[in-house]
Amino acid sequence: MNTEKVLDFFREITRIPRESGHEEKMVAYLQAFAKQRGLECKTDKVGNVMIAKPASKGYEDRPTVVLQGHTDMVCEKKSTSNFDFSKDPIHFVIEDGWMIAHDTTLGADNGIGVASAMAILDDDTIAHPRVECLFTVSEETGLDGARAVKQGFITGKTLINLDDEDEGYFCVGCAGGMDTVGTFSYHEKKLAPGDVTMKFTLGGGLGGHSGDDIDKGRFNGVQQTARFLNEIWPLNVDLCHIIAGNKRNAIARGGEVVLAIPAHSEEEVIARFNNLAARLKAEYAVTDPGLYFHAEPVERPASAIDRATAGRLIRALLAIPHGVIAMSPDIPGLIETSTNLASVRIDSGQKIVVGTMQRSAVDSQRIFLSQRVAAVLELAGAEVRHSDGYPGWKPNMNSHIKDVCVASYKRLFGREPVVRAIHAGLECGLFTEKFPDVDMIAFGPTLRGVHAPGERLDLASLERFWAVLLDVLKTV
């Protein structure tokens, strides 16, 4: 395989802990890599790393090209897995031409982009102009690394982002995004002496990327956990614990609640749970065939959430919108605006935190949608905060690097690639604000199931992506 060196570096990366906000070992790995090869390397205060390599012989007069990817990954695992992202190497297999991590995320988003840039830095037989490889941190939690990049950290005027997930497609635009988080304060409630305490689990949702997969109509664990609670709330149960979903940019795959149930209502609560389970399996038979539902007795908790707060929380989770809000009127098939009801969990200090994320190609619509979500939370009595957000990346159809990439793909494979904008967020939106004179494009190999266990990389597409990348570096 022509990409064996890329895969060698990626295998090394899968052994390095690099959850967003904890990329220290990855930063040290990149610094050591540069030092061993005598390459220019600098690191900023947040952990972004830039490694530069001089132009190949004969390419000294070509303009510098920036290759950019992010070092962090979304750390998601199956509920049955004991995997520890802080120390365990990612376990993957090769099946039918795919590299797959069955029980966790693989981290090819964006480890394969980082590995590709490293392979170019490592190989003196590759023809290229001067390259500046920019490795950013904490992309998955809000593009924090890209936000912190200062003027002068890179000098190139052409940037290739290696973080797209469909080979044969060149991305020239993306949606902007922001988080809206609601926090409920509650009082502890004593349980009635005769109450039965049980745990109810809704799991097995496919989940996925809250940008790329938000239009797939998949099961949402937060939404459906609230649906169950709403159906049994008139039976005078008490909510002792709730957790559903996890990452802001991932569709919630399941949820779990612990309830204190009056003894005379136990059978009815279980019956309603089983009835809902049957309905959900039917509703999501196509999109989420692996759904499962469990009910079991648990040790009696010390207390419950007061019913007034719990009731307001349940109604808020039912009312918060989730999914596609609007399609683009300009680009057929492109999602313009969406929102993800991402998570709910009990936090310290008698707090319940609800996480959501809004995306839109139109910044004013993104802000309006965040206000709508905030209104629901505030009406339910929550305190609301918004993240700073990040801008969209407006397509430039006159882009020189876009023309170079399209010509390269046609020359290599004899067919026309697709030029598009995407609904996911890319760091290019922030770079466009910081470096308005930089010409940008994004492309990569085919990934599927990102941000969820089962994430996989198509190895044949990696070969084609690599061929295009090397050809572009020769011709840009």
User: What residues are annotated to the active site?
Assistant: 72, 139
Give the span between the Cα atoms of 209 and 342, in whole angstroms.
11
Alpha helices in 127-214 (DSSP H): 144-148
Indicate if the alpha-carbon torsion angle 143, 457, 134, 413 is positive or negative: negative
Contact by Cβ (8 Å): 254, 202: yes
Indicate if the alpha-carbon torsion angle 118, 123, 127, 129 is positive or negative: positive
Q: Are strands 304-305 and 439-442 parallel, antiparallel or unpaired?
A: unpaired
Alpha carbon 431 to chain centroid, angstroms: 19
Q: For residue 156, how many C-alpha atoms fall within 13 Å in the half-sphere facing its CB?
A: 28
Q: Per-residue DSSP letters for 325-375?
A: EEE-SSSTT-EEEEEEEEEEEEETTTEEEEEEEEEESSHHHHHHHHHHHHH
Q: What are phi and psi of 325, to 5 degrees?
A: -100, -40
The pair of structure tokens assigned to 146 is 């890209």
Q: Which residues fall within 8 angstroms of residue 153, CB to CB, at 6 or more apart? A: 42, 44, 48, 50, 134
